[in-house]
Amino acid sequence: MFSVQLDENNIVVGVMSFPPQTENQIAVPEFDDSLLGLQYVNGQFVDPETVSNE
């Protein structure tokens, strides 16, 4: 199992090769560093520019 670390704005700032261990980490199915910089919103990873413009 893998996880991503989220900052205070739910932006992915890290990808880890272990299960979530803190509240600001969520499980992901694979190690995917393309998630870095994306925002986690309603269960999906989205471009934060798209979210801020809505």
- Using the 8-state DSSP alphabet, how is residue 10 labeled? S
Collapsing DSSP to helix, strand or coil, 45 comes out as strand
Q: How far apart are CA 29 and CA 44, in angstroms?
A: 13
The predicted structure's pLDDT at residue 52: 59
- What is the value of pTM for the model shown? 0.89
The predicted structure's pLDDT at residue 50: 85
The predicted structure's pLDDT at residue 53: 53
Name 10's Cβ contacts closer than 8 Å, sequence gap at least 6: 39, 40, 41
Average pLDDT of adjacent 10-residue blocks, the chain of 54 residues? 97 97 96 97 93 59
Residue with tokens 């801020």: 52
The predicted structure's pLDDT at residue 51: 74
Amino acid at 12: V
